[in-house]
Amino acid sequence: MIDKHNPENKEIIVQETGPLTSFFTGRKLLTMGYIGKFDPDWLLKTK
């Protein structure tokens, strides 16, 4: 387990989570847009 309070590990955390979170966010937006094309009401339901 990475000690998040250790300054030496900050770069490692950014490198590990950075691309991963942007990947998942991108996938989520893609999925939302994909479903929204076929079911416009779906986007309203999620809000």
Cα distance between residue 47 and residue 25, in whole Å: 17
pLDDT digits over 1-47, tens only?
545 565 565 555 555 556 666 677 777 767 766 655 666 675 566 55
The structure tokens listed for 45 are: 């339901």
In the chain, what are the domain boundaries? 1-46
* pTM confidence score: 0.28
Cα distance between residue 26 and residue 35, in whole Å: 14
Cα distance between residue 20 and residue 12, in whole Å: 13
